């Protein structure tokens, strides 16, 4: 890829057509073996199945290529838990530290809130200072620490639990407990 003009990078909702490019981006970040629990991307078929199940996914695109993503899934589609989403994100290494992470995160949180989510959770390895700072800046609070959650390549890592609670802001589409249906397929809308 050529030199990047960061102003040219588009942040938009993903579509199924992004699957292959998203998979490559996810695979690159996973293979760094530092930031994600995944150590490689799932195969393309799994990625294609997974994307429509997300509540929301935004991607950063330049020159037709996915260079970053941020998404929120709803792992427990049960009464009482449909307002809770789990966030994941990543950027290709050469696209970090230029504000793209914040743009992706803001777009994704706004869309998730519009889908009726009012609690967004995540886990982040304690050594991932850039991510932790970004989450704190956008209002995520620390909720706990899973000690020695990962031992990989000789490195012991604690996992920090963080969450953003959009309290006092009414979901625009009615009570969050009804939002699973709305949240589903939002990535394809
Ligand atoms: C975590 C991640 C998504 C953050 O994205 P990002 O774009 O680098 O994050 P930010 O937009 O917050 O920028 C990070 C830093 O760049 C700085 N920055 C922002 N805009 C900038 C600009 N235009 N020029 C220079 N620096 C800039 C920020 O101030 C911040 O600095 P700080 O960490 O010293 O406070 C990215 O680092 C990444 O993909 N990491 C690997 C995958 C990962 O960790 N995923 C999360 C797992 S929980």
The tens-digit pLDDT sequence of the chain (189 residues) is 555 677 789 999 999 999 999 999 999 999 999 999 999 999 999 999 999 999 999 999 999 999 999 999 998 888 999 999 999 999 999 999 999 999 999 999 999 999 899 999 999 999 999 999 999 999 999 999 999 999 999 999 999 999 999 965 554 433 444 345 444 444 344
| DSSP 8-class letter at 154 | T
Catalytic site residue 123? yes
- No. of H helices and E strands in the chain? 5, 7
Architecture (CATH level 2) of domain 6-188: 3-Layer(aba) Sandwich (3.40)
Q: For the whole model, what pTM was predicted?
A: 0.88
Residue 68 C-alpha from the chain's centroid? 10
Q: Is the C-beta atom of 89 inside 6 A of ligand 1? A: yes
Report d(CA 57, CA 15) in Å as an integer. 9
Which residue, by CA, sits nearest to atom 35 of ligand 1?
133
What are the domain boundaries of the chain?
Answer: 6-188
Report d(CA 163, CA 123) in Å as an integer. 9
Structure tokens at 54: 């997300």
Separation of CA 92 and ligand 1 centre (Å): 11
Query: From the CA atom positions of the chain, what is the Rg in Å?
Result: 16
């Amino acid at each position: 890829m050529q030199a990047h003009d960061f102003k040219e990078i588009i942040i938009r909702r993903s579509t199924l057509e992004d699957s292959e490019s998203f998979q490559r981006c996810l695979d690159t970040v996973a293979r760094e073996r530092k930031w994600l629990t995944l150590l490689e991307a799932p195969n393309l078929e799994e990625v294609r199945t997974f994307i429509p199940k997300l509540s929301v996914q935004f991607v950063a695109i330049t020159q037709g290529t996915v260079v970053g993503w941020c998404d929120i899934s709803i792992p427990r589609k049960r009464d009482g838990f449909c307002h809770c989403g789990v966030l994941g994100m990543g950027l290709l290494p050469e696209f970090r530290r230029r504000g793209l992470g914040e743009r992706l995160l803001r777009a994704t949180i706004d869309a998730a809130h519009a889908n009726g989510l009012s609690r967004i959770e995540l886990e982040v390895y304690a050594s991932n200072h850039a991510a932790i700072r970004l989450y704190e800046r956008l209002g995520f609070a620390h909720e706990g620490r899973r000690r020695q959650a990962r031992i990989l390549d000789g490195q012991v890592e604690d996992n920090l639990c963080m969450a953003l609670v959009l309290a006092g802001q009414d979901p625009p589409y009615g009570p969050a407990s009804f939002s699973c249906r709305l949240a589903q397929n939002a990535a394809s809308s």
